Amino acid sequence: MQYFLRRVLVNIPVLLLVTIVIYLLINLAPGDPVDFFVNEEIGITKEDLDFVRERYGLDDPIPVRYVKWLGQVMQGDLGFRFKNGDDVAEVLAVRLRRTFLLMGTALAIGIAVGVTLGIFIGLRQYSLWDFTFTGLSFVGISMPAFIAGIFGLYIFSVKLGWFPSGGMRTIGKPESVFDLMYHLVLPAGTLAIFNLATFMRYTRFSMLEVRGEDYVRTAKAKGLKPPAVTWRHVFRNALLPIVTVVGLSLPTLVAGALFTETIYSWPGMGALLVDAVAARDYPMVMGIMLVTALVVLTANLITDLAYAVADPRIRYE
Amino acid sequence: MSKSKFLSLIIVLSLALLAACAAPAAAPAAEEPMAESSDQMASEEMEVEQVLIGGFDVGPGGDPQGVLYNNGAGNVWFVKMFTPLIIMDSTFSNHTSEAALAVSWEPNDDATVWTFNLREGVKWHDGEDFTASDLKWTAEFVAAPMAAVTHFGIGQPQQIVGWTEYNDGEADEIVGIRAVDDLTLEIELSSPNPRFYDSVRGFYALPEHAIDFEPTEIFSSDWWFASPIGTGPFKFHSYEKDQFMAIQPNEYYWDGVPELDQLINRYFVDETAAVLALESGDIDFTYVSADVASRFEGNADYQIFSGPSFVTNMFNYNFLNDVWNDKRIRQAFMYGIDRASIISDVFNGTAQATPCQDPYPTFWPADANYYEYNPDKARELLAEAAADGVTLDDVNLDIPTYYTSQLAKDILTVMQANMAEVGVNVNPTFLDVPTWRTVVDDNATEWNIAYRGAGGGPASYSSIWYVEDNQWGIDDPAYVDLFAAMDAAQNADDYRAARTALCKYQNEEATFAYWWVSTRYGIATVDIEDFHYFPAPGGGPYVDRSQDWNMK
Amino acid sequence: MSIDVGRRQSNSQSPTAQAWRRFRRHPLALAGLILFAIVLLASVIAPLITRYDFAYLNLADKFQSPSINHFLGTDRVGRDIWSRTLYGGRVSLAVGFAAASISTVIGVILGSISGYYRGKADQVIMRFTDVVMTFPRVVIILTAAIYLGQSIASVIFLIGIFSWPGITRLVRGQVLSLREQQFVLASRSLGAGNRRIIVTHVLPNVVAPVLASITFAVNGAILLEAGLSFLGVGIPLPTPSWGNMLESARSLDVLQDGPWIWVPPAVMILLTVLSINFIGDGLRDAIDPRYQQG
C-alpha cells in the first residue's frame, strides 16, 4: 500500500514537469495563434494583430500564462481553442472516442490473433509453421505504419476499390455500425499488422522460455499429459510477460497513430495534435498533452502493479 | 502457487478484455450524439431526392468549420446561407446586384458618402424581414471593442467616419453608418473613395433578432453550427463536427426556392482525401489543385471548372538588405529561372506568367517584358553587379515560403536547380504560417527572398507593399506618385490607366520577381446541372446561383 | 595491475568469439547481414553505379516510367529515381546511425550513472526519463524542428536527443545487477575508484546488450527520419532521403499513376529495417544463448 502511494505521488512532479516542458516548447515556437489567423494573401496591419493578442492575453510573459493555465486546469477547465473557440474538453472527448475506436480495434486484433498464433507456433518450434510465421512477423515489425498505410491505400482502395480511402463514414447515408466498420477496416488493419507481429513474437518467445523452465520439465517427468502441461503450466506462465507489452501499448489508445490517421484522414488525436501545433493552439496542445501524459503514467503504474500482484516474487522496496 | 497463477491469468484476461472492449465500447459511444440525426436522416431519406455533397471548403480560400468574420475566407460556403451587401459576378471583376443585399449604390459628388439601396422583400430564414438596421447592427457587432475580430467584412474600415472611435470603445455607435430607412443604408467616409463599393463585398448581414451571444463570443458561439440564420438561398439543416454541414432550401429566398433538397459540405483533412472521395463517388464536387486537375481531363464523368487564382506568386525581395537595391541582381533571378518550362511542365500549363504584382490581366501593359529564360544574361548581370562590388556571396539565400504542397516543392526544386546553374545557391525552406510570419514579418533583415503570394481586388489595390513604411524598405518616390494617381482616378478608364502604369513600372524595375498566377480548379460530376464554381480568392463571394443547381 | 576477473571464462574461447560463432550459425542474422551489406554498399558506391546526379533534373523527361535511360523511371520534375534511391540511402542510413549513436551515448552515460550510483542521481535521472518517455516523440520533434530549421544535422540531433530513454533503462538495469557481482566487489575491495570501476569493469560488460539494442535504435531512427520527411519536415531540398521520396506518394497522381516513384524507397526502408532486425535478433541470441531460437 505504501509502495502504491509512493508510486502514485512520484508521478505528480513528473506530470507537472511534462506540462512545463511542453508549454515552454510550444510557446517558444515561432509565431502565435494570432499569426495563424492571418490570411497572408489578404494582409493585415500589425496594430490589428497586437490588439487581438492583447485581448487573448498573449502579451503576458510565458510563466504568467502557464500559471494561469495551470490554475484553470486545477478548476477543471481546459480552456477554449484559439482556432475556432471550441471547448478543449469537448473536442478531446470526441477525438478520444475516435482514436480509441481505431487503436482499440487494432490492438484487439493484434492481441487476439497475435497471441493465438504465438501459442500455436510456440508449441511447434522449428516446424514449417514456425518458420513461416516467424519470418512474416519480422516483416510485420519492420513495416512502418506509413508504408503499410500507403500500400494498403494503393492496393485495397485505389486499385481494387474494396474499401473507402478515408474518413469515418459515408456521408449522405444513414449512420450505421456497418458503415463505420467498413471505414475502419483499412486503418485498423494497417495498424494491426505491427501489433499482431509484436504480440506473436512475444508470445512465442515467452512460450519457449517457459517450456524450458524446470517446473515444466518436472511436470512432464511427473507424467502429466502434454495438453495438461501446456495448459496448466506453460500457457499461464507464458502469458505473464505479455501483460507488460499490453500495458505498454495502452497509451497508444489515447495518443493515436499520427501517420495512419494522416493517410486515412481518420479525425483522431494524432491528427488533432499536429493540427493544433501548426496553429499554435496552446490550450488544445496542452489539453492533448495532459491527457496523454496522464494515461501514459497511469498505464505504467497499472502495469507495474499488475506485475507485482501477479508475480509475488517481485518485491518493491 | 496455483492461486497466484490463477490471479495472474485473471489480470491478463481482464487487461486483454479491456483492450478488446475498446472497439465495441467505443462504437455505441461514438454514435450516441448522432443517434438522433441518423434517425432523422433515415426517415427523411424517402423524401430527399436531390442531395449534392461537395468539399466546398477544400483548398485555398476554404475555411472548414469556420465562422463569418474570422479570417475573410470560406465564402464559397458562407454565401449559401448569408448574403453580402455587394457581390461580384463570376468574371470576378464586375460588381453586380444579382445576388446581393444592395440593388444599387451611388456615391455623392466627392465620393465621401455612399448610399446603398437595399433589396425589397428579403427575409431571414426564420421569416423575419431584413432591414438596413441589421447591417448597421452587424458592423457594430463585429467591430465591438472586445470582439477580437480582425476581418470586419469591410476593407479598411478606418475610412468610415466614427469607426475607430467605436472600435476603441470611445463611442456608442459607428456614426458613419446610418440606416436611413428600412431599405437605405448610408456610409460616410472620412476621405473620398471612388471605389468604396469594392470594400463591402465581404460585409455579410447578421440577424440582430436571432443572435443571442455577445460580440466576444463570435468565434466560440455554437450558434453558427446549431441555429445559424441568414438571408441566403439555403438554411441550416444539420451539422456534425469534423464531418459535414447540411443545409436545405430557404423557402423565403427572393430569387426562387433552390431546387436541391439538400446541400452538404463535407470536411476533409486534405485535398487528397477529397479527391479520393470524389473518385469513389462519395461526393459530387471538390476543389482540386492544378496538378490533380489534369487527371480529370477528357473524362466524360466529370465537368471541370477553372479560373485564375487571382494570387500572384513572387519572390519578395528584402530591400532592407542593400544588395536588392541593385536592379541587376533582381533581374538576374528573372532571367535565371526558366519560368516558361515551370509553367508548361510543373504546372502542366495551369498557370499564367504575370508581368507585375497585379493578378488581373485587364491591368497588364501590352508591351510588358516577360524576361524570357536567359541564363547567360543572368550570369552577365551578376558579373556586372559583382564588378561594382555588389554580390550575393555573403547573403543568406534561404527562400522561406508558407506553401508546403508537393507542387510548391516541385517548383522550388526547379528554381533551385536553375539558379545553381547561374552560380547562385538558394535554399528553399518550407514553414508553417506562424513561423513564416515570424521569419518574414518580424525579423526585419534576416531574410532576403521570400516566395509568397499576393492577392487583391479588381477595384482595390493596397499600397502597403510599396509605400507607407512598407516592411521591406522600398523607398521609391515613383511608387508614391503611381499609387496617388490610382487613388485619384474618378472613373473606370482613368483607374485602369493608372493601374496599368503601376504594373508597367513594377515590370521594368523588377521590384520583386513576379512569376505567375496559377489556375485553380473545381471538379464536379456530370450529374450536377447548372452548377457553377469559381476559384476566387478567399472563396469569393461571387454569384454562383446555387438556387438553380440540380441533380440529373 | 590489470584485473581480468570481469571476463567470466567458461571455456577456452573468449565470449566475443563464442558470440560470433553463435551469430554465424544464425541463418536469419547472416541473411540480414548480407542484405544490409548490399544496401550499405549500394549507397556508398552510389556515384559509381548511377548515371545522373541525384539533383539533376530534366523537365522534358518528367514522370517517365522505368526505361533503359532511367531504369527506375523519373519523378515529377524529371529526376532519376534509381539515383535518388541510392543517394537517399546515404542520408537515411547516415541519419539512422548518427542519431542512434547520439541516443546510445546519452543512454549509456545516464544509465550507468543511474545504475551505479543509485540513490538521488538514480531518482532524478529516472524521473527525467519518465518525462521524456511521456512526450509524443514525433510531435515534439516536429515542434523543435521549427527552431532548428531544416537540415540533416538538426534531424540527426533531434532524433538523437529524444530517443535515449530505452537505452538508459536497459543500461541501468544491467549496471544495477553488475555492481553487485563479485568481480566488481573484488575490484572495489582492492581500492579501485568508482570511475575506474565503471570504465574498466561495468561498461565492457554492458557493451554486449547495448550492441543489440543499438540495432533497434538505428531502425527507430531510420523510421523516424522517414516519418518526419513523410510529413514534410526534415531533409532540405534537393537532397533525397527515402522518407522525402515517399512523401511524394501523398499526392494522388504519384500514388495512383506513378508507383515507380514511391515503391523503391518504400521497399528500401522495408529491406533495411528488416535486415537490421535480423541482425539485432541474431546479436541478442548470440550474446545470450538462452534466447537462441533457431
Residue type at C268? M
Which among C146, C270, C293 has CB closest to A142?
Answer: C270
CB contact (8 A) between residue A171 and residue B435: no
Cα(B401)–Cα(B395) distance, integer angstroms: 18
Nearest CA among B131, B103, B98 for reference residue B207: B131
Average pLDDT rounded to a whole number, residues C213-224: 90
Whose cell is 509453421? That residue is A129
Beta-carbon contacts of residue A93 (< 8 Å; ≥ 6 apart): none
Spatial CA neighbour of C240 closest among A258, A143, B413, B422: B413
3-state secondary structure (DSSP) of residue B237: strand
Q: Output B317 or C203, whichever has higher pLDDT.
A: B317
User: A50 to chain C, minimum CA–CA distance in Å?
Assistant: 23
pLDDT digits (tens, 9 = 90+) for B342-355: 999 998 888 999 99
* More confident call, C6 vs B206: B206
Instruction: Determine how β-strand B285-288 pairs with β-strand B51-55.
Output: parallel
Instruction: Show the 3-state SS of B111-149.
Output: CCEEEEEECCCCECCCCCECCHHHHHHHHHHHCCCCCCC
CA–CA distance, C281 with B32 (Å, rounded to integer): 47
- pTM across the whole model: 0.84
Q: Which residues of C touch A32 (CB under 8 A)?
A: none
Q: Is residue B46 over pLDDT 60?
A: no
pLDDT (0 to 100) of residue A44:
60
Cβ pair B240, B37 in contact under 8 A: yes
Q: Helices in B337-397 by DSSP H: which ranges? A: 339-341, 375-387
* Chain C residues 184-243 with a CB less than 8 Å from chain B: 232, 236-238
| pLDDT given for residue C6 in this prediction | 41
Mean per-residue pLDDT over chain C, rounded: 84
The pLDDT score that the predictor gives to residue C234 is 77
**What's domain C16-293's architecture?**
Orthogonal Bundle (1.10)
Q: Does B276 touch chain C (CB under 8 A)?
A: yes
Whether B37 shows a pLDDT value over 70: the answer reads no
Q: How confident is the model at residue B75 (pLDDT cuts 50, 70, 90)?
A: very high
Residue ranges per structural domain of chain C: 16-293
Element (H, E) at B513: strand B513-525
Distance from CA of A63 to the nearest CA of B (A): 21
Q: Which helix (H) or strand (E) holds B51?
A: strand B51-55
pLDDT of B97 reads 79
Mean pLDDT, residues C208-237: 86
Q: Are B309 and B518 in contact (CB under 8 A)?
A: yes
Report percent pLDDT > 90 for chain C. Answer: 36
Determine the pLDDT at residue A172: 57
Higher pLDDT, A273 or B132: B132
Q: Which residue of A has its CA nearest to C130?
A: A14
What dihedral angle (degrees, nearest 10) is formed by the CA atoms of A12, A13, A17, A23? 50
Nearest to C251 among B291, B342, B416 (CB): B291
Position B205 scores a pLDDT of 96
Q: Is B238 helix (H, G, I), strand (E, B) or coil?
A: strand
* The pLDDT of residue B242 is above 80: no
- Any idea how long chain B is? 552
| Mean local confidence (pLDDT), B75-84 | 94
Higher pLDDT: A313 or A30? It is A30
Contacts of C256 in chain B (CB under 8 A): 295
| pLDDT at site C285 | 77
Query: Could you tell me if C167 and C111 are in contact, meaning their C-beta atoms sit under 8 angstroms apart?
Result: yes
* Cβ <8 Å between C251 and B406: yes
Mean pLDDT score of chain A, rounded to an integer? 82
B462 interaction partners in chain A (CB closer than 8 Å) = 43
Burial B71-91 (b: 16+ CB within 10 A, else e): bbbbbbbbbbbbbbbbbbebe
Q: Name all chains with 3 or more CB-CB pairs below 8 Å to chain B.
A: A, C
> Which residue among B8, B150, B434 places its CB closest to the CB of A311?
B8
pLDDT for B517 equals: 93
Chain A residues in contact with C143 (beta carbon < 8 A): 25-26, 29, 277
Give yes or no for residue B79 having a pLDDT over 80.
yes
Question: How would residue B32 be classed by pLDDT, with cut points 50, 70 and 90?
Answer: very low
As separate numbers, helices (DSSP H) first and strands (DSSP E) second, chain B gives 14, 19
**What domains sit in chain A, N to C, each tagged with a CATH number?**
16-74 (no CATH), 95-310 (1.10.3720.10)
C4-57 pLDDT per residue, tens: 444 444 445 666 677 777 777 778 888 999 999 999 999 999 999 988 999 999
What residue type is assigned to position B350 of the chain?
A: T
Q: Does C77 touch chain B (CB under 8 A)?
A: yes
Looking at chain C, which residue has its C-alpha nearest residue A147?
C266
A33 to chain C, closest Cα gap in Å = 14
Largest CA distance in chain A: 87
Q: What is the pLDDT of residue C117?
A: 85
Distance CA A116, CA A110 (A): 10
Give the residue-averaged pLDDT of B276-295.
86
Q: Which three cell numbers stand for residue B165?
A: 472611435
Q: What's the one-letter identity of residue C254?
A: V
Q: Which residue has the higher pLDDT, B506 or C254?
A: B506
Contacts of A309 in chain B (CB under 8 A): 7-8, 11
Find, among C179, C170, C168, C172, the residue nearest to C202 by Cα.
C179
A neighbour chains, 3+ CB pairs within 8 Å: B, C
Helix (H) or strand (E) holding C129: helix C119-134
Look at residue B30 and tell me whether its pLDDT is greater than 80: no
**What is Dmax (Cα atoms) for chain C?**
76
Mean pLDDT of A145-153: 89
Q: Which residues contact B247 (CB under 8 A, 6 or more apart)?
A: B80, B81, B234, B235, B236, B237, B262, B263, B264, B265
The one-letter amino acid code at B355 reads P
pLDDT of A173 reads 65
In this prediction, residue B18 carries a pLDDT of: 40
- Segment 235-254 of chain C within 8 Å of chain B by CB: 236-238, 247-248, 250-254
- Whole-number Cα distances in Å, C260 to A139, A302, B260, C49, C290: 21, 47, 43, 19, 44
Give residue B7's pLDDT: 43
Radius of gyration in angstroms for the set of CA atoms belonging to chain A, rounded to a whole number:
24
Tell me the per-residue pLDDT of B323-338, one tens digit each, with 9 for 90 and over.
999 999 999 999 999 9
Average pLDDT of the segment spanning A191-205 = 88
Per-residue pLDDT, C14? 64
What's the full length of chain A, in residues?
Answer: 317
Residues β-bridged to residue B521: B288, B306
* A54 at interface of B, judged by CB pairs closer than 8 A: no
Task: Report the pLDDT averaged over residues B92-112.
Answer: 87
Q: What is the mean pLDDT of residues B367-378?
A: 95
Task: Give the distance from residue C270's alpha carbon to the nearest chain B alpha carbon, in angstroms.
Answer: 24
Given the C-alpha cell 456534425, which residue does it identify?
Answer: B240
Q: Which phi-psi region, left, alpha or beta, contains residue B59 (left: φ > 0; alpha: ψ -120 to 50)? A: left
* Chain A residues whose beta carbon lies within 8 Å of the beta carbon of residue B151: 39, 42, 44
Q: How far apart are CA C40 and CA C32, in angstroms?
A: 12
Lookup result for grid cell 504560417: B433
> Binning pLDDT at 50, 70 and 90, where does residue A168 land?
confident
Q: What is the mean pLDDT of the segment spanning B89-108?
A: 84
Separation CA A151–CA A137 (nearest Å): 17
Interface ipTM: 0.84
pLDDT score at B72: 81
CA torsion, points A294, A296, A299, A304, in degrees to nearest 10?
Answer: -110
Mean pLDDT of the A220-225 span = 72
> Which chain B residue's Cα is nearest to C253?
B292
Mean pLDDT of A273-297: 88
Residue A177 Cα, gap to closest chain C Cα (Å): 29
Peptide bond into B107 cis (omega under 30): no
Q: What pLDDT was estimated at residue B44? A: 44
The C-alpha atoms of residue C180 and residue C134 are separated, in whole angstroms, by 31
State how far the Cα of A304 lies from the Cα of A309, in Å rounded to an integer.
9
DSSP per residue over chain A, as a string? -HHHHHHHHTHHHHHHHHHHHHHHHHHHSSS-HHHHH--TTT---HHHHHHHHHHTTTTS-HHHHHHHHHHHHHTT---B-TTT--BHHHHHHHHHHHHHHHHHHHHHHHHHHHHHHHHHHHTTTTSHHHHHHHHHHHHHHHS-HHHHHHHHIIIIIIIS--S-SSSSS-TTSPP-HHHHHHHHHHHHHHHHHHHHHHHHHHHHHHHHHHHTSHHHHHHHHTT--HHHIIIIIIIHHHHHHHHHHHHHHTTHHHH--HHHHHHTT--SHHHHHHHHHHTT-HHHHHHHHHHHHHHHHHHHHHHHHHHHHH-TT----
Q: Are the CB atoms for C66 and C72 separated by under 8 Å?
A: yes
Contacts of C51 (CB under 8 A, 6+ apart): C80, C83
Q: C269 at the A interface (CB within 8 A)?
A: yes
Distance CA B350, CA C149 (A): 32
pLDDT of residue B20: 37
pLDDT digits (tens, 9 = 90+) for C98-141: 999 999 999 999 998 888 888 888 888 988 888 888 777 887 88
For residues B351 and B343, is the Cβ–Cβ distance under 8 A?
yes
Partner-chain contact A44 B150, CB within 8 Å: yes
Residues in A touching C245 (Cβ below 8 Å): none
Residues of A in contact with B273 (CB under 8 A): 165-167, 265
Size of interface A-B (CB pairs under 8 A): 211
Calculate the CA C153 to chain-centre distance. Answer: 15
| Count of other CB atoms within 10 angstroms of residue A51 | 17
B467 touches chain A (CB under 8 A): no
Whether C246 sits inside 8 A of A14 (CB atoms) is no
Calculate ∠ Cα B5-B6-B11, nearest 5°. 95
At residue B17 the predicted structure's pLDDT band, cuts being 50, 70 and 90, is very low
CA distance B181 to A201: 80
Tell whether C149 lies on the interface with B, counting CB pairs under 8 A: yes
Band the pLDDT of C289: cuts 50, 70, 90. Answer: low
Residue in A40, A55, A104 closest to B453 by CB:
A40
Size of interface B-C (CB pairs under 8 A): 67
Nearest chain A Cα distance for residue B346, angstroms: 22
B508-552: pLDDT as tens digits: 999 999 999 988 899 999 999 999 998 887 788 889 999 999 998
pLDDT mean across residues, chain B: 86
Per the CB < 8 A criterion, the answer to whether C63 and C75 are in contact is yes
Q: For position C9, what pLDDT does the model report?
A: 42
pLDDT at B261: 94
Higher confidence at residue A93 or residue B32?
A: A93
Residue numbers in C near A28 (CB within 8 A):
147
In chain C, how many H helices and how many E strands? Answer: 13, 0
Interface touch B410/C76, C-beta < 8 Å: yes
What is the reported pLDDT for A232? 67
Is B302's pLDDT higher than 80? yes
**Distances in whole angstroms, Cα of residue B8 to Cα of each of A114, A231, C266:** 19, 14, 41
- Answer whether C147 touches B (CB < 8 Å): no
Backbone φ, ψ for residue B162 (5° rounding): 85, -5
Alpha-carbon span B329 to B384, nearest angstrom: 9
Q: Do C238 and B413 touch (CB under 8 A)?
A: yes
Interface chains of chain C (3 or more CB pairs under 8 Å): A, B
- pLDDT at A236 > cutoff 90: no
Give the pLDDT confidence score for residue B217 in this predicted structure.
85
Angstrom distance (rounded) from CA A84 to CA A103: 27
Tally the residues of chain C: 294
Q: What is the mean pLDDT of residues C239-267?
A: 90
Query: Which pLDDT value is given to residue C209?
Result: 77
For chain B, give the percent of residues with pLDDT over 90.
Answer: 57
pLDDT at B35 over 60: no
Q: Which three cell numbers stand for residue B2?
A: 496455483
